[in-house]
Amino acid sequence: MTPSRRLRAPLLRVRATRALSFHSPWIYTMNRCASLVLALAAAALAPAAASAQDQALAQRTFPKNALRGSILFGNPPAIQLNGDTALMAAGYRVHGPDNLIVMATQLVGFKGAVDYTIDMQGQVREVWLLTPAESARLWPTTPEEAATWSFQPDTQTWTKP
């Protein structure tokens, strides 16, 4: 075998195995740079998505049977609703101002304006923590007011008779 032939054979095998091998992004850094550029481009577009979320939050809907009140959260399930002691129902839900579910244990000591629903046993079933814009809207505070006022579900407004 000639010396040139001995050198050629191993090189061909190495090239063939490189073509089939996996290119790690930690060894070949060009893939990491491309990923970084894509991540930065996505971050630049994020404020546009956040403003769309803000518009969706501004149009939060509440059920017709929800009442307005003030709440003070104690140790769950105890609360004070409109100054009276009340209990949260089993499986209750508390929606934050961003409409995400909030754990009542995070709200111990919190006092604020809410819309709430009552279940058949008279316990608070669902609570929505209101934003200042939502609490400024007219909403009934008693079942008697809700029975006499008229409700427009598409605009989420109540009108007194």
Number of folded domains that form the chain: 2
Do 13 and 83 belong to one domain?
A: no
Nearest-angstrom CA–CA distance, 118 and 79: 13
Cis-peptide into 161, omega within 30 deg: no
Do 89 and 15 belong to one domain?
A: no
pLDDT tens digits along 89-122: 999 999 999 999 999 889 999 999 999 999 999 9
Q: Kindly state the average pLDDT of the residues 141-154.
A: 95
Do 101 and 142 belong to one domain?
A: yes
Do 107 and 154 belong to one domain?
A: yes
Where do we find the tokens 């929505």? 128
Asked whether residue 56 carries a pLDDT value surpassing 60, the answer given is no
Domain range for 21: 3-58
Percent of the chain at pLDDT > 70 equals 65
Asked whether residue 20 carries a pLDDT value surpassing 80, the answer given is no
pLDDT at 139: 96
Nearest-angstrom CA–CA distance, 128 and 126: 7
Cβ proximity of 125 and 104 under 8 Å: no
pLDDT at 104: 86
Do 74 and 53 belong to one domain?
A: no
pLDDT at 57: 47
Do 115 and 135 belong to one domain?
A: yes
pLDDT at 94: 97
Asked whether residue 88 carries a pLDDT value surpassing 60, the answer given is yes
* The model's pTM: 0.65
